[in-house]
Chain A
Amino acid sequence: DADVTQTPRNRITKTGKRIMLECSQTKGHDRMYWYRQDPGLGLRLIYYSFDVKDINKGEISDGYSVSRQAQAKFSLSLESAIPNQTALYFCATSDLMTSGKETQYFGPGTRLLVL
Chain B
Amino acid sequence: GQSLEQPSEVTAVEGAIVQINCTYQTSGFYGLSWYQQHDGGAPTFLSYNALDGLEETGRFSSFLSRSDSYGYLLLQELQMKDSASYFCAVGYNTDKLIFGTGTRLQVFP
**Are A and B interaction partners?**
yes
From A97, which residue of chain B is reached at the shortest CB distance?
B48
Q: How far is the CB of A76 from chain B (nearest CB, A)?
A: 16
Q: Does A45 lie within 8 Å of B98, measured CB to CB?
A: yes
Q: How far is the CB of A14 from chain B (nearest CB, A)?
A: 25
Known: A101-B31, A104-B97. A42 touches B102 (CB 8 A): yes
- Give the number of residues in B that approach A within 8 Å (Cβ atoms): 23
Q: Does A90 lie within 8 Å of B42, measured CB to CB?
A: yes
Q: Of residues A45, A102, A107, which shows the largest number of chain B Cβ atoms within 10 Å of its Cβ?
A: A102
- Which among B50, B87, B94 is the interface contact of A99 at CB below 8 angstroms? B50
Q: Which residues of B contact A41 (CB under 8 A)?
A: 101
- Give the number of residues in A that approach B within 8 Å (Cβ atoms): 23
From A2, which residue of chain B is reached at the shortest CB distance?
B42
Q: Does B99 lie within 8 Å of A43, measured CB to CB?
A: yes
Q: Does B42 lie within 8 Å of A103, measured CB to CB?
A: no
Q: Does A42 lie within 8 Å of B87, measured CB to CB?
A: yes
Q: Which residues of A, 88-114, contact B by the 8 Å Cβ criterion?
A: 90, 94, 96, 99-109
Q: How far is the CB of B69 from chain A (nearest CB, A)?
A: 17
Q: Does B91 lie within 8 Å of A108, measured CB to CB?
A: no
Q: How far is the CB of A37 from chain B (nearest CB, A)?
A: 9
Q: Which residues of B contact A40 (CB under 8 A)?
A: 8, 101
Q: Does A106 lie within 8 Å of B42, measured CB to CB?
A: yes
Query: Is residue B43 within 8 Å, beta carbon to beta carbon, of the partner chain?
Result: yes
Known: A41-B101, A45-B98. A103 touches B45 (CB 8 A): yes
Q: Of residues A40, A44, A94, A100, which shows the largest number of chain B Cβ atoms within 10 Å of its Cβ?
A: A100
Q: Which residues of A contact B98 (CB under 8 A)?
A: 45, 59
Q: Does A105 lie within 8 Å of B45, measured CB to CB?
A: yes
